[in-house]
């Protein structure tokens, strides 16, 4: 496969960036998208150029490190995958591929395609936990039976990998899907209910402070989420927050 890549290059957070075009050849459908970028980078290094910086780590779709806005979609055109699981068979010979960083005020660019998502961490610091010690001297794990449906739903939302695709896809750069996933996980479990109200208020406050946009229910996040987190969790957070605010 022969492709034309249009990649955002930016030296550091302070400098201006621009789209640079790179032709690339010999790409196989079995390669992952990031392996295609590896080949590009190897070529750049051999030519004496600086490689394109992009975040990646586990390359199996679970660490949430990889990002990339590919041809107008977070994690590219495939569904239910991260960029590292996107395979080149999704593209055709001769395609032009735009590769841009996730864009949001709360995700400033560090270099090229690498963005700083520590705003997500700070939201979690504000309340993404259950306040129990780590002594292990808690009650027996089976002391509170949890309905399977609740446990399964809590798991579904807990499978969020914090990649930020929801923010990148949202026309408002809203972080609601991410925040609501964590709020939902704990709100669904009896252990988390105790401090559910404080949690949702604190996490939303931090989310607002970080400069994310507002949710306008377009549903783009749900479609682009590699882990299939549903809008239901946003509604659940809306509910939790409403109750917590009027209490």
Contact mark string toward another protein, 62..101, x via CB under 8 A: xxxx---x-xxx---xx-xx---x-x-x--------x-x-
Q: Which is nearer to another protein, 23 or 139 (CB)?
A: 139
Residue 110 touches another protein, criterion: CB under 8 A: yes
Q: Which is nearer to another protein, 2 or 245 (CB)?
A: 245
**Contact with another protein (CB under 8 A) among 3, 114, 177, 229:** 114
**Contact with another protein (CB under 8 A) among 1, 22, 95, 244:** 244
Phi-psi region of 80 (alpha: psi -120 to 50; beta: other; left: phi over 0): left
Positive or negative, the CA dihedral 142, 146, 148, 152 is negative
Minimum CB separation of residue 202 from another protein in Å reads: 9
Q: What tokens appear for 9 in the block?
A: 């290059």
Q: Which is nearer to another protein, 23 or 71 (CB)?
A: 71
Minimum CB separation of residue 170 from another protein in Å reads: 9
Rounded to 5 degrees, φ, ψ at 29 are -60, -25
Contact mark string toward another protein, 15..54, x via CB under 8 A: ----x--------x-xxx-xx--xx-xx-xxx-xxxx-x-
Report which of 200, 182, 188, 183 is spatially closest to residue 144, judged by C-alpha positions. Answer: 188
Q: Which is nearer to another protein, 23 or 169 (CB)?
A: 169
Distance CA(8)–CA(171), nearest Å, equals 19
Residue given tokens 């009027």 in the structure block: 246
| Residues within window 196-215 making contact with another protein, judged by CB under 8 A | 201, 204-205, 207-208, 211-215
179 burial (CB, 10 Å; 0-12 / 13-18 / 19+) is: buried
| Residues within window 115-144 making contact with another protein, judged by CB under 8 A | 116-118, 120-121, 124-142
Q: What tokens appear for 81 in the block?
A: 């995958």
Contacts of 26 (CB under 8 A, 6+ apart): 1, 2, 39
Minimum CB separation of residue 25 from another protein in Å reads: 13
């Amino acid at each position: 496969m022969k492709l034309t890549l249009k990649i955002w290059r930016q030296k550091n957070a302070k400098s201006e960036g621009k789209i640079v075009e790179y032709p690339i050849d010999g790409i196989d459908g079995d390669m992952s998208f990031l392996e295609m970028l590896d080949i590009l980078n190897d070529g750049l290094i051999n030519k004496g150029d600086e490689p394109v910086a992009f975040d990646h780590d586990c390359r199996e779709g679970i660490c949430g490190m990889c990002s990339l806005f590919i041809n107008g979609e977070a994690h590219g055109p495939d569904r239910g995958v991260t960029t590292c699981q996107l395979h080149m068979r999704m593209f055709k010979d001769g395609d032009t591929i735009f590769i841009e960083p996730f864009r949001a005020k709360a995700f400033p660019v560090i270099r090229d395609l690498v963005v700083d998502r520590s705003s997500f961490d700070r939201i979690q610091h504000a309340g993404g936990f259950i306040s129990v010690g780590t002594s292990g001297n808690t009650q027996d794990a089976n002391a509170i039976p949890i309905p399977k449906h609740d446990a399964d739903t809590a798991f579904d939302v807990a499978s969020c990998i914090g990649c930020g695709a929801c923010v990148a896809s949202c026309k408002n750069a809203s972080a609601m899907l991410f925040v609501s996933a964590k709020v939902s996980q704990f709100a669904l479990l009896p252990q988390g209910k105790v401090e559910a109200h404080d949690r949702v208020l604190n996490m939303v406050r931090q989310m607002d402070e970080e400069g994310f946009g507002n949710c306008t229910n377009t549903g783009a996040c749900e479609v682009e989420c590699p882990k299939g987190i549903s809008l239901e969790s946003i509604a659940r957070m809306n509910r939790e927050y409403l109750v917590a605010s009027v209490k």
